[in-house]
Amino acid sequence: MDRIAITGGARLNGSIPVSGAKNSAIKLMAASLLTDEPLRLTNMPRLADTRFLGKLLARLGVEVTERDGADGQETVLHAAEITSGFAPYDLVRQMRASFNVLGPLVARSGQAKVSLPGGCTIGARPVDLHLQALEALGAKIDLHEGYVYAQAPRGLKGAEIVFPMVSVGATEHAMLAAVLADGTTVIRNAACEPELADLQECLNAMGARVEGAGTPTITINGVSRLAGATHAVIPDRIEMGTYAVAAAMAGGEVRLTNARPGLIDALLRKLEEAGAGVEETADGCIIRRGDERLNAVDIETAPFPGFATDLQAQFMALMTTAKGESRIRETIFENRFMHAPELMRLGADISVSGGEARVRGVERLEGAEVMATDLRASVSLVIAGLVARGETTVSRIYHLDRGFERLEEKLGACGAQVRRIKGDGEPEL
């Protein structure tokens, strides 16, 4: 397994381009199942997760082509014919979001057999809301031996879907299924994350009639078929936030480009409160910090536009050397403080009780060997390593490769001393 080694102490100065959003790209890739014409996605990240989903889509009959185009990295997906409606466990288990092929398969082909995605290290994320949405649209759902059998031989029908709790994945899944349903679908208590608006824009470019994404109520007027389209993936707000925190942690001045600061406003305001400088630019923002030590500030995760749970681990790393005590409340996922013990190996003073962590800032972190437990936890350890005295080695970085493209290259271009230590091979996720 590969590892990443960081020698702490270097300030960051330079520019970092933000890649396309992983959480949006993988749902846009699933949308290719809805049409027999090519879907061209530009500003595409090259990640383990997009690679795994591409492998699954190819198994279902999609021709997947990655290339460098006039607009940078792009992926063209062409599902001229669905050759299989079967998504096996050995592929679905590698990435939970691949479960979202179920709705498009049923919408276009009338049936599908897709594995349940299995467990998740950051807490239970059941798919019952996904299945309830499909049932509301008229699909017959059977669960047997870990697989979902879904059938709608006469097509899906528009319906009112009321989610009892906000779920990004279930909202996206309902949208993907409802665009080809007969009649009007109204999704209530929908998630409002910007990735939903990105999906709406892509689907509408393909000929769908979707409105309201980004608000709690989404209305979809079903159409009989969708066409191909070209769509640029939204910039990755989590990657942007991560590098903003890294710049505040290490000090210096970093310009983030190809980014939309408004998507991480909650984080940027907290960085300013802690003492970092934030300047918005035409295509992103600049993060500055001098020699002064940051101040401890409290955060509480919340659905968009609140403080993103996917930035909580990174902000905890930032607070480990801040002046005073900060309280971090996690309200989205249970078990999402697994990075705390690893940060403590670097000398952080953290205590966790239920959904709250108290971080008492220390003068200095010390390099050590640490282990990534999930995607966001892995990069929090890299951020801490930027200021830890000596060398920090992060293992199990296959987690990190799922969501961060060319991380060592991007940080290294700004002066960080970060290198990848090649192992004997990568494990399956």
Rounded mean pLDDT, 147-159: 97
Q: Rounded distance, CA 141 to CA 132, Å?
A: 9
Residue 96 assigned to a binding site:
yes
Of 95-104, 151-160, 176-185, 332-341, minimum mean pLDDT range: 332-341
Rounded mean pLDDT, 207-212: 98
Residue 310 assigned to a binding site:
yes
The angle at the Cα of 102, spanning 405 to 195, to the nearest 5 degrees, equals 40
CA atoms within 13 A on the CB side of 53: 29
95-115 residue pLDDT tens: 888 999 999 999 999 999 999
For residue 223, is pLDDT > 80? Answer: yes
Residue 332 assigned to a binding site:
yes
How big is the chain, counted in residues?
Answer: 429
Of 32-36, 58-62, 329-333, 423-427, minimum mean pLDDT range: 423-427
Mind listing the domains of the chain with CATH numbers? Answer: 3-18+235-421 (3.65.10.10), 22-232 (3.65.10.10)
Residue 128 assigned to a binding site:
yes
For residue 123, is pLDDT > 70? Answer: no
Rounded mean pLDDT, 271-283: 97
Angle, to 10 degrees, between the axis of helix 265-274 and the axis of helix 237-250? 10
In the chain, the percentage of residues whose pLDDT exceeds 90 is 88
Residue 125 assigned to a binding site:
yes
Cα→Cα distances 243→88, 116, 128, 143, 293, Å: 36, 34, 35, 42, 18
| Residue 209 bridge partners (DSSP) | 221
Q: Please, which contacts does 394-398 make with residues 24 or more away whose CB atoms are closer than 8 Å?
A: 394/3, 394/4, 394/5, 394/6, 394/370, 395/1, 395/3, 395/369, 395/370, 395/371, 396/1, 396/371, 396/372, 397/1, 397/2, 397/3, 397/4, 397/372, 398/1, 398/2, 398/48, 398/426, 398/427, 398/429
- Please report the pLDDT score of residue 69 as a whole number: 85
Residue 126 assigned to a binding site:
yes
For residue 124, is pLDDT > 60? Answer: no
| Strand 252-257 to 12-17 pairing | parallel
Nearest-CA neighbor of 380 among 405, 334, 344?
Answer: 344
The whole-angstrom distance between residue 268's C-alpha and the CA centroid of its chain comes to 19
Q: Rounded distance, CA 196 to CA 24, Å?
A: 8
Q: Classify burial at 51, counting beta carbons within 10 Å of its beta carbon; exposed 0-12, middle 13-18, buried 19 or more.
A: middle
Residue 361 is encoded by which pair of tokens? 């800032």
* Residue 296 DSSP one-character state: P
Residue 104 assigned to a binding site:
no
What value does the mean pLDDT of the chain take?
94
For residue 239, is pLDDT > 90? Answer: yes
- Please report the pLDDT score of residue 335 as a whole number: 74
Query: Which has more confidence, 315 or 90?
Result: 315
Q: Rounded distance, CA 81 to CA 64, Å?
A: 13
Residue 336 assigned to a binding site:
no
Question: From the candidates 120, 192, 202, 414, which is the catalytic residue?
Answer: 120
Nearest-CA neighbor of 199 among 182, 177, 184?
Answer: 177
Nearest-CA neighbor of 126 among 118, 138, 136?
Answer: 118
Rounded mean pLDDT, 204-222: 98
- Please report the pLDDT score of residue 308 as a whole number: 96
Rounded mean pLDDT, 355-382: 93
For residue 230, is pLDDT > 50? Answer: yes
Tell me if 244 sits within 8 A of 18, measured CB to CB.
Answer: no
For residue 429, is pLDDT > 60? Answer: no
- Please report the pLDDT score of residue 424 as a whole number: 65
Rounded mean pLDDT, 355-367: 97
Q: Name every residue whose Cβ is closer than 8 Å to that of residue 283 and which is 6 or more positions away in sequence.
A: 257, 258, 259
Active site residue 285: no
Nearest-CA neighbor of 25 among 86, 80, 68, 66?
Answer: 66
